[in-house]
């Protein structure tokens, strides 16, 4: 590991020691954050999986019933039935902070009913198909919220992990080594000085003899 | 003149023609083969043996199937017109497409869409003139009973801004027209058929409305007149529990149909559409034993419509990947 390019003096040593202490504290904090993020991430992923499974089951069923409704009468009749819907779905988007990450929060609001067609000339099974599809919509939006959160947490985890790694494998060893290096340099200078002093003393005392 | 003398003269030719055609209908066995066929290609090979064959040669997608079936119905109605020139009977069968088109036009007008893609080609109304009339609110050029139905539907929509009202008004007008056509023919079989079908539609509306938790006013408005089971009776039964509803209908021919549809506090209407058609086909089956008259003639056309419907379920069901079991549950009873 490369040693930082600094002047090997006591001042720098004190500086580096301070930096090392901060880096170590930062590293610990970031590591804790990473652990917590991982926990949140796994929770969200689990929730995600549950929602996805639920949706897949519900959608498969809804599509099947819808395919039945679709085959029960001509395409024109089904399309006419759904030509002028009077149900509106709106999604309110707000933000929530999760471990300092801004994740979106979707709130679904549905107004009106989905039966916008005559009940006499359309197949009865259409009601069930639409009921099931209608049930899926809020869960789908919930799923998109969970998936976005997972994505954002994943990005944050990656960022934090990079920082932790940089601290752990680059900065802290570098500081450590530099401190050792400066220490050695200083010791060396100390020894050099001592030797020099001894030599001078010897010369001085020898010369006087 | 006595009917015994009048009927052979009036219907002899037409019934003769349809009796030949009746033997060529698909029948339960062939439909079963179609249900159990591996894929659409196999189904086409089976259909090639029938008079549907030429219509399906090029069909690949569900849209093609729809088009082929539409073409088949066009030819069927042309055949009816050819063998029996009285327009009223043909009108009985195709007026529903006109009403469909009127619904499309009204919803297109209010929803500011074009709606051309869901226009039915089987109706009698000319799209261009009527489209212009509806768009500009000039209904003078439109014939009755469409005009008054349109006027009512438009004023109702403008008042409530509810697109469902358009369907309710036009459906009511359609069934009133069907009843009037049957009444004009002074044929008990025909009139009873229409009244039975109105009953079944009313039961369907009743049960669907109940499932959808609709208000009492909705059923009061949407139920049709002229059925054997009076509208008033159904309205009175609407707030009651399902048990009372089933009990009250016990003496009617629909008792079984209704009883089987109850599941807990709801109606299970998954296969109600089939039951509805089965009931009516069983009714028209009597006509097979009437040697000559209006009965076998209209029954044949109704039976063909039922056959086309069944075929649509089988073919589109297969193309949409429904299992043979699901399709089988929905295959209608056939006339032959």
Each residue's pLDDT expressed in tens, for chain A with a length of 209 residues: 678 888 888 898 999 999 999 999 999 999 999 999 999 899 999 999 999 999 999 999 999 999 999 888 888 899 889 888 888 889 999 998 888 889 899 999 988 888 889 999 999 999 999 999 998 999 999 999 999 999 999 999 999 999 999 999 999 999 999 999 999 999 998 999 999 999 999 898 876 54
CB A175 within 8 A of CB A4: yes
- Residues of A with Cβ-Cβ distance to B100 under 8 angstroms: 76-77, 80, 121
Q: Tell me, what's the pLDDT at B2?
A: 57
- Residues of A with Cβ-Cβ distance to B63 under 8 angstroms: 75
d(CA B281, CA B211): 26
- The pLDDT of residue B325 is above 70: yes
Cis peptide preceding B145, ω within 30 of 0: yes
The tokens describing B166, both together, are 């358009």
CB A128 within 8 A of CB B270: yes
- The pLDDT of residue B307 is above 80: yes
Residue range B208-231: average pLDDT?
Answer: 92
Whole-angstrom CA distances from A106 to A89, A137, B21 are 12, 12, 61
The tokens describing B102, both together, are 């009127």
Interchain proximity B326–A74, CB inside 8 Å: no
Domain borders along chain B are: 2-330
Model ipTM value: 0.89
The tokens describing A175, both together, are 């500081």
Torsion (CA) B48, B52, B55, B60 in degrees, nearest 10:
-60
Interchain proximity A119–B208, CB inside 8 Å: yes
- Which residues have C-beta within 8 Å of that of residue A34, sequence separation ≥ 6? A157, A160, A161, A164
- Residues of A with Cβ-Cβ distance to B103 under 8 angstroms: 80, 83, 118
Give the DSSP per-residue string, A53-113. Answer: HHHHHHHHHHHHHHHHHHHHS-HHHHHHHTSS---EEEEEEEEEEETTEEEEEEEEEEES-
List the CATH code of the domain at A10-190. 1.10.287.3240
d(CA B258, CA B280): 15
Interchain proximity A123–B224, CB inside 8 Å: no
CB B128 within 8 A of CB B105: no
Q: Tell me, what's the pLDDT at A209?
A: 46
pLDDT in tens, B81-120: 999 878 889 999 999 999 999 899 888 888 888 878 888 8
Interchain proximity B212–A116, CB inside 8 Å: no
pLDDT in tens, B46-90: 999 899 989 998 889 998 999 999 999 999 999 999 998 788 899
Q: Tell me, what's the pLDDT at B264?
A: 84
- The share of chain B scoring above pLDDT 70, in percent, equals 98
d(CA A64, CA A62): 5
Interchain proximity A85–B117, CB inside 8 Å: no
Q: Which residues on neighbouring strands pair with residue A91, listed in sequence order?
A: A108
CB B9 within 8 A of CB B287: no
Residue in B with minimal Cα distance to A122: B273
Mean pLDDT, chain B, rounded, equals 89
- Residues of A with Cβ-Cβ distance to B175 under 8 angstroms: 120
**Packing angle of the helix pair B294-319, B3-22 (nearest 10 deg):** 30
Residue range B240-262: average pLDDT?
Answer: 90
d(CA A81, CA A148): 35
**Which residue bears the tokens 């200078």?**
A189
Interchain proximity B100–A79, CB inside 8 Å: no
Q: Which residues on neighbouring strands pair with residue A90, listed in sequence order?
A: A109
Interchain proximity A119–B204, CB inside 8 Å: yes
DSSP B117: G
Contacts 24+ apart (CB under 8 A), A14-19: A16/A175, A16/A178, A16/A179, A16/A182, A17/A179, A19/A175
d(CA B142, CA A103): 58
Greater confidence, B41 or B136? B41
d(CA A159, CA A203): 63
- Residues of B with Cβ-Cβ distance to A83 under 8 angstroms: 103-104, 107-108, 111, 113, 115, 118, 163
d(CA B6, CA B204): 38
Terminal CA-to-CA distance of chain B, rounded, Å? 32
Interchain proximity B66–A72, CB inside 8 Å: no
**Which residue bears the tokens 């599809």?**
A133
- The share of chain B scoring above pLDDT 90, in percent, equals 53
Interchain proximity B272–A86, CB inside 8 Å: no
Q: Tell me, what's the pLDDT at B270?
A: 87
d(CA B334, CA B53): 19
Residue B143's φ and ψ, nearest 5 degrees, are -75, 160
In three-state secondary structure terms, B124 is coil
Partner-chain residue, chosen from A65, A71, A80, that has the shortest CB–CB distance to B312: A71
- Residues of A with Cβ-Cβ distance to B163 under 8 angstroms: 83-86, 116
Residue in B with minimal Cα distance to A73: B309
Interchain proximity B120–A81, CB inside 8 Å: no
Greater confidence, B127 or A91? A91
The tokens describing B331, both together, are 């295959």
Half-sphere exposure of B101 (CA within 13 A, CB side): 21
| pLDDT band per the 50, 70, 90 thresholds, residue B4 | low
Helix ranges, chain A (H)? 10-72, 75-81, 125-165, 172-208
Residues of A with CB under 8 A from a CB of B: 64-65, 67-68, 70-77, 79-81, 83-86, 113, 115-121, 123-125, 127-128
- The pLDDT of residue B237 is above 80: yes
Partner-chain residue, chosen from A68, A76, A117, that has the shortest CB–CB distance to B120: A76
The tokens describing A115, both together, are 């039966």
| pLDDT band per the 50, 70, 90 thresholds, residue B5 | low
In total, the C-beta contacts within 8 angstroms joining chain A to chain B are: 124
Partner-chain residue, chosen from B201, B207, B322, that has the shortest CB–CB distance to A120: B201
Partner-chain residue, chosen from A71, A77, A127, that has the shortest CB–CB distance to B208: A127
Length of chain B: 336
Quick one: which of B312, B336, B333, B319 has its CA closest to B73? B312
Interchain proximity B273–A72, CB inside 8 Å: yes
Residue B262's φ and ψ, nearest 5 degrees, are -80, 130
Residue in B with minimal Cα distance to A129: B270
């Amino acid at each position: 590991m490369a040693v930082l390019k600094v002047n090997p003096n006591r001042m720098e040593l004190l500086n580096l020691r301070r930096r090392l202490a901060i880096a170590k504290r930062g590293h610990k904090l970031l590591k804790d954050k990473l652990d917590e993020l991982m926990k949140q991430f796994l929770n969200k992923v689990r929730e995600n999986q549950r929602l996805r499974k639920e949706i897949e089951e519900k959608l498969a069923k809804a599509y099947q019933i819808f395919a039945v409704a679709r085959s029960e009468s001509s395409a024109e009749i089904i399309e006419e039935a759904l030509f002028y819907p009077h149900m509106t779905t709106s999604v309110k988007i707000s933000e929530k902070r999760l471990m300092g990450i801004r994740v979106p929060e979707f709130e679904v609001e549905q107004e009106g009913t989905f039966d916008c067609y005559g009940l006499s000339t359309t197949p009865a099974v259409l009601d069930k198909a639409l009921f099931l599809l209608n049930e899926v919509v809020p869960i789908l939006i919930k799923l998109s919220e969970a998936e976005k959160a997972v994505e954002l947490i994943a990005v944050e985890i990656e960022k934090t992990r990079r920082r932790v790694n940089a601290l752990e494998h680059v900065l802290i060893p570098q500081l450590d080594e530099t401190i050792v290096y400066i220490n050695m340099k200083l010791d060396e200078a100390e020894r050099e000085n001592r030797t020099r002093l001894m030599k001078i003393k010897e010369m001085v005392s020898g010369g006087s003899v | 003149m006595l009917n015994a003398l009048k009927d052979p003269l009036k219907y002899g030719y037409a019934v003769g023609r349809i009796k030949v055609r009746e033997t060529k209908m698909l029948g339960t066995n062939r439909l079963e083969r179609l249900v159990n066929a591996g894929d659409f290609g196999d189904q086409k090979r089976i259909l090639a043996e029938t008079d549907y064959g030429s219509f399906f040669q090029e069909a690949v997608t569900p849209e093609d199937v729809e088009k082929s079936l539409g073409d088949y119905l066009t030819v069927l109605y042309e055949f009816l017109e050819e063998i029996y020139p009285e327009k009223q009977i043909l009108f009985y069968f195709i007026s529903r497409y006109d009403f469909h088109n009127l619904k499309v036009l009204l919803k297109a007008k209010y929803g500011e869409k074009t709606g051309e893609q869901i226009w039915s080609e089987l109706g009698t109304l000319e799209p261009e003139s009527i489209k212009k009339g509806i768009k500009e609110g000039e209904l003078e050029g439109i014939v009755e009973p469409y005009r008054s139905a349109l006027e009512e539907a438009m004023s109702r929509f403008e008042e409530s801004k509810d697109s469902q009202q358009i369907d309710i008004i036009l459906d009511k007008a359609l069934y009133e027209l069907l009843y009037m056509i049957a009444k004009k023919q002074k044929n008990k079989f025909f009139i009873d058929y229409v009244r039975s079908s109105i009953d079944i539609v009313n039961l369907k509306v009743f049960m669907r409305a109940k499932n959808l938790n609709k208000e009492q006013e909705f059923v009061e408005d949407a139920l049709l007149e002229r059925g054997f089971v009076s509208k008033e009776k159904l309205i009175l039964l609407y707030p009651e529990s399902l048990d009372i509803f089933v009990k009250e209908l016990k003496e009617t021919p629909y008792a079984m149909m209704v009883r089987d549809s109850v599941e807990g506090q709801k109606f299970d209407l998954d296969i109600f559409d089939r039951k509805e058609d089965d009931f009516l086909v069983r009714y028209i089956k009597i006509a097979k034993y009437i040697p000559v008259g209006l009965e076998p003639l209209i029954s044949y056309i109704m039976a063909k419509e039922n056959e086309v419907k069944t075929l649509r379920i089988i073919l589109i069901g297969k193309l949409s990947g429904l299992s043979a079991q699901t399709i089988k549950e929905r295959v209608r009873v056939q006339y032959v």
